């Protein structure tokens, strides 16, 4: 018989979709400790068939709790190779199993029970969830939290002493609770419907086989509590002694428990680090040391015939910790194909000596880019370039070894080929700008900068168009960069200076206080790189006058091969012309050959011309017979309101003849305006009847 009050957590990590499950299962581990259940965790590369079967054979936990990729007859581990299959699952005999995996309840679950498993719970569908950040603890993620809490409710209920059947009910309750949250307080979230439908899918896909009355707990004695008064340190040097102290007491009446054995466990290596016996005040103390690595410790009282088990919380201790020292930091902004060079050094923080021969991983955009071995002094350098305009994050990871704890750097953000935008940021956005007597602004001639970054002088020319602002600009290169480095005469195009000439044409005077904006636009990134006000003289500008503009800020910009255009905009916030909006009204008619079918006329007797997104509006529709008018009684007939897709969004019934309109007019029909801003046309339809 398997060992009660004991569980195995199988926690793969390698695949990016498993990271959430890995972090989510830590909450089940916490629950097991809280309940005094002996916990065995197989994490990351340990989450494979060999270690799993070895633990099941040797330590024999009654409860197997795992997540990871699966299929109808397979459950896989860290390397996505099989741990259990429907043909090879006899090891699950005598155990309760919960697998957060896809489809395994179709074949693996029934096979496990046929092979003697007490009970099996899993999913007949692909367990589906949503997340803002797939790498975050799902309990902190806006979308993932509900999915993982609902799934964890199953193992947590078993740990709390509930039966398999009750655990299923608890899990379904938690799915329902989250469905309720998305249908109430989070109903205004734009992805609420998606979240609900996958919660429904997962909830209904949870399937249990075998003995639903089974539990994973032995008969409980008097409930006890184990507290820690002196915790272990967060970080400690290898083989450094430390002491953990605590007390054991009866939970209900607080009486200290004397002469009881306490064990200090280490989860990673499944070791008992030390034991102690409580004194007359229930106090215990264990002094020990640790080898290098990330250790997870907890103290446990295993209970006996009189007292039930209890455990302390879990403590994570880093031993023999390392750090990655950044010798040369990467540039935050580089050009396309420019090499980014970084030099790092891996250090043993205990001795402050570099760690040679260690594997370091370069992670770019959260994916493994490459890996290197540090030199004898722990140094590690590399360079990388990016072929396109883009943004990236970059960090180094030391995954740790048997002797050293893992460490990583912060994320470095790198912009590639993205110029800083400078200029006046208080301008009205383009959609609010108005152009007097213009259909649009004047665009400059497009210029191609060659691959080597060199550009011959002429860039932009202006075109005289009556009533519009005319822009003319020149700029040229210095060395490998296109730069504006000064200002001289118009005629000098010698590659040393730069300016922009604006000539104002048309009949209108540009008044003091009016705004001229100079823009430089990149057709590659479709962004305005430069957007600044051009000062107009105090007396304004007459047609035919010109102004030199010296955009000093342009000298701060680095240019690179791409297309640019320069244009000027004359902004006037007030629109001088009255514009009448398009209006329309639809009607429906029918061409008939049968004499008894009469044409009808439809009229919108009450519509609306404006609504806010999602607003509930009312519409009234009138219909009359085109042949006989009032003589054909249409009262009681149906009319519909159709949206822009032709969907019926409102329906009403025609009332009596309305002499004011000379139509049979419906009651008020309610319909909801679209959720997005825009102009829409709806139809009022009198269907053939």
CB of 187 vs other proteins, minimal distance in Å? 4
Give whichever of 192 and 524 is closer to other proteins, judged by the CB atom.
Answer: 192
Q: Which residue has the tokens 């019934």?
A: 653
Chosen residue from 188, 259, 577, 595 binding other proteins by CB under 8 A: 188
Q: Which residues contact 274 (CB under 8 A, 6 or more apart)?
A: 263, 264, 286, 287, 288
Nearer to other proteins, 388 or 645 (CB): 645
**Choice between 186 and 223, CB closer to other proteins:** 186
Whole-number minimum distance, CB 656 to other proteins, in Å? 17
- Strand segments (E) across 271-374: 271-277, 283-288, 293-301, 310-311, 315-319, 322-328, 333-334, 340-348, 353-354, 359-364, 367-373
* 127 near other proteins, rule: CB under 8 A: yes
Q: Judged by CB under 8 A, does residue 71 bind other proteins? A: yes
Binding of residue 588 to other proteins (CB under 8 A): no
Q: How many CB atoms lie within 10 A of CB 255?
A: 11
User: In the complex, what is the shortest distance from the CB of residue 10 to other proteins, in angstroms, rounded to a whole number?
Assistant: 13
CB of 648 to other proteins, least distance (A): 4
Binding status of residue 645 toward other proteins by CB under 8 A = yes
Residue written as token pair 């009022």: 684
Minimum distance from CB of 148 to other proteins (Å)?
A: 12
Q: How far is the C-alpha of 522 from the C-alpha of 214, rounded, in Å?
A: 68
- Answer for the pair 35, 160: CB distance below 8 angstroms, yes or no: yes
Task: State which residue, 17 or 461, has the beta carbon closest to other proteins.
Answer: 17
Nearest approach, Cβ of residue 400 and other proteins (Å): 26
Min. distance of Cβ 178 from other proteins in angstroms? 13
**How far apart are CB 677 and other proteins at their closest, in Å?**
12
State the virtual CA torsion across 169, 172, 177, 178 in degrees, nearest 10.
160
Three-state secondary structure readout of 514-568: CEEEEEEEECCCCEEEEEEEECCCCCCECCCCEEEECCHHHHHCCCCCCEEEEEE
Task: Choose between 104 and 470: whose C-beta lies nearer to other proteins.
Answer: 104
311 neighbors 34 (Cβ within 8 angstroms): yes
Cβ(563)–Cβ(535) below 8 Å = no
Q: Is residue 130 close enough to count as binding other proteins by CB under 8 A?
A: yes
| Cβ proximity of 230 and 210 under 8 Å | no
**HSE-up (13 A, CA, CB side) for residue 495:** 8
Q: Which of 120, 143, 178, 474 binds other proteins (CB under 8 A)?
A: 143
Q: In the complex with other proteins, which residue's Cβ is closer, 74 or 296?
A: 74
Residue (165 or 180) nearer to other proteins, CB: 180
Identify the residue whose tokens are 């397979």. 74
Instruction: Please identify, among the stretches 273-281, 365-373, 562-570, 663-671, the one whose residues bind other proteins according to the rule CB under 8 A.
Output: 663-671
Minimum CB distance to other proteins, residue 195 (Å):
7
In SS3 terms, 27-94 reads as HHHHHHHHCCCEEEEEEHHHCCHHHHHHHHHHCCEEEEEEECCEECCEEECCCCCEEEECCECHHHCC
Q: Shortest gap between Cβ of 69 and other proteins (angstroms)? A: 5
**Residue 77 makes contact with other proteins by CB under 8 A:** no
* Interface with other proteins, residue 108, by CB under 8 A: no
> Which residue lies nearer to other proteins by CB, 405 or 684?
684
Q: Please identify, using beta-carbon distances, which residue of 12 and 462 lies nearer to other proteins.
A: 12
* Options 10-18, 298-306, 367-375, 590-598: segment touching other proteins (CB under 8 A): 10-18
Q: Which of residues 665-684 bind other proteins (CB under 8 A)?
A: 669-672, 674-676
Work out which of 373, 490, 575, 648 binds other proteins, going by CB under 8 A: 648
- Say how far apart CA 110 and CA 116 lie, in whole Å: 10
Paired tokens of 472: 């003319």
Q: Which long-range contacts (CB under 8 A, 24 or more apart) does 486-491 make?
A: 487/548, 487/550
Give yes or no for residue 535 binding other proteins (CB under 8 A): no
| Binding flag, residue 146, other proteins (CB under 8 A) | no
Helix axes 192-205, 164-183, angle to 10 degrees: 170
CB of 465 to other proteins, least distance (A): 39
Residue 76 as a binder of other proteins (CB under 8 A): the answer is yes
> If binding means CB under 8 A, how many residues of this protein chain bind other proteins?
70
Position among 198, 398, 559, 567 found at the interface with other proteins (CB under 8 A): 198
CB 121 within 8 A of CB 98: yes
Per-residue contact string for residues 605-644; x = within reach of other proteins by CB under 8 A = ---------x-----------------------x-xxxx-
Q: What is residue 660's DSSP assignment?
A: T
Q: For 153-292, list the strands marked E by DSSP.
A: 206-210, 224-230, 235-236, 242-250, 261-266, 271-277, 283-288
The residue whose two tokens read 């210095």 is 478
Choice between 630 and 638, CB closer to other proteins: 638
Closer CB to other proteins, residue 194 or residue 545? 194
Distances, alpha carbon 408 to alpha carbons 322, 354, 356, 360, in Å: 9, 15, 16, 9
Nearer to other proteins, 175 or 386 (CB): 175
Confirm or reject binding of residue 184 to other proteins (CB under 8 A). Answer: yes
- For 350, the token pair is 């205990």
Identity of the residue, 370 or 653, whose beta carbon is nearer to other proteins in the bound complex: 653
The DSSP string of 179-206 is HHHHHTTTTTSTTHHHHHHHHHHHHHHE
Q: Which residues of this protein are in contact with other proteins, per CB under 8 A?
A: 15, 17-18, 20-21, 67-71, 76, 80, 100-103, 125-131, 134, 143, 179-180, 182-198, 200-201, 204, 614, 638, 640-643, 645-653, 669-672, 674-676, 687
């Amino acid at each position: 018989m398997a060992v009660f009050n004991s569980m195995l957590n199988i926690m793969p990590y390698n695949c990016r979709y498993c990271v959430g499950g890995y972090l989510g299962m830590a909450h089940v581990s916490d629950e097991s400790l809280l309940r005094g259940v002996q916990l065995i965790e197989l994490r990351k590369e340990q989450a494979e068939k060999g270690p799993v079967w070895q633990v099941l054979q040797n330590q024999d936990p009654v409860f197997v709790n795992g997540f990871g990729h699966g299929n109808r007859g397979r459950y896989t581990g860290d390397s996505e190779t099989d741990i259990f299959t429907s043909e090879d699952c006899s090891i699950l005999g005598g155990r309760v199993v919960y697998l957060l995996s896809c489809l395994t309840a179709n074949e693996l679950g029934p096979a496990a029970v046929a092979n003697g498993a007490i009970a099996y719970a899993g999913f007949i569908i692909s367990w589906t969830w949503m997340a803002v950040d797939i790498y975050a603890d799902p309990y902190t993620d806006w979308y993932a939290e509900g999915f993982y809490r609902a799934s964890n409710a199953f193992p947590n209920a078993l740990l709390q002493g509930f039966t398999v059947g009750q655990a299923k009910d608890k899990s379904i309750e938690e799915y329902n609770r989250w469905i309720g949250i998305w249908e109430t307080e989070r109903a205004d979230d734009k992805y609420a419907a998606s979240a609900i439908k996958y919660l429904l899918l997962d909830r209904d896909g949870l399937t249990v086989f075998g003995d639903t009355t089974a539990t994973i707990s032995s008969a409980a004695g008097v409930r006890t509590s184990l507290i820690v008064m002196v915790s272990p340190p967060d970080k400690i040097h290898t083989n450094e002694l430390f002491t953990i102290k605590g007390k054991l007491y009866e939970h209900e009446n607080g009486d200290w428990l004397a002469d009881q054995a306490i064990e200090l466990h280490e989860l990673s290596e499944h070791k008992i680090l030390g034991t102690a016996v409580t004194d007359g005040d229930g106090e215990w103390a264990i002094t020990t040391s640790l080898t290098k690595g990330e250790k997870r410790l907890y103290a446990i009282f295993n209970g006996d015939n009189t007292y039930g088990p209890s455990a302390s919380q879990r403590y994570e201790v880093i031993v023999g910790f390392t750090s990655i020292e950044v010798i040369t930091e990467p540039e935050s902004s580089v050009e396309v194909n420019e090499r980014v060079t970084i030099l790092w050094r891996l250090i043993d923080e205990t001795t402050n000596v570099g760690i040679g021969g260690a594997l370091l991983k370069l992670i770019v955009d959260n994916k493994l880019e490459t890996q290197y071995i540090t030199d004898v002094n722990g140094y590690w350098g590399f360079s990388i370039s990016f072929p396109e305009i883009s943004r990236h994050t970059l960090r180094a990871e030391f995954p740790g070894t048997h002797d050293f704890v893992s460490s990583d750097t912060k994320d470095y953000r790198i912009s590639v080929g993205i110029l800083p935008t400078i200029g006046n940021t208080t301008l009205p956005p383009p959609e609010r700008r108005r152009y007097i007597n213009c259909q649009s602004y004047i665009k400059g001639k497009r210029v191609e900068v060659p691959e080597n970054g060199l550009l011959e002088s002429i860039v932009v020319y202006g075109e005289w168009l009556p009533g519009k602002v005319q822009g003319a600009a020149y700029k040229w290169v210095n060395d490998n960069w296109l730069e504006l480095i000064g200002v001289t005469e118009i005629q000098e195009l010698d590659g040393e200076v730069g300016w922009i000439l604006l000539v104002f044409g048309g009949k209108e005077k540009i008044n003091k206080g009016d705004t001229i904006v100079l823009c430089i636009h990149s057709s590659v990134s479709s962004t305005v790189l430069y957007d600044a006000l051009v000062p107009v003289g105090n007396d304004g500008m007459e047609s035919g006058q010109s102004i030199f503009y010296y955009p000093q800020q342009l000298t701060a910009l680095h240019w690179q091969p791409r297309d640019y255009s320069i244009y000027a905009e004359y902004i006037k916030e007030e629109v001088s012309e009255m514009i009448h909006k398009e209006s329309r009204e639809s009607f429906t008619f029918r061409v008939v050959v049968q004499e008894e079918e009469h044409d009808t006329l439809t009229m919108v007797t009450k519509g609306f011309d404006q609504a806010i997104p999602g607003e509930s509006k009312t519409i009234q529709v009138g219909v009359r017979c085109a042949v006989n008018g009032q003589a054909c009684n249409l009262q009681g007939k149906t009319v519909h309101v159709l949206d822009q897709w032709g969907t019926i969004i409102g329906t009403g019934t025609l009332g009596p003849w309305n002499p004011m309109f000379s139509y049979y007019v419906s009651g008020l029909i309610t319909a909801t305006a679209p959720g997005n801003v825009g102009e829409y046309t709806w139809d009022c339809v009198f269907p053939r009847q």
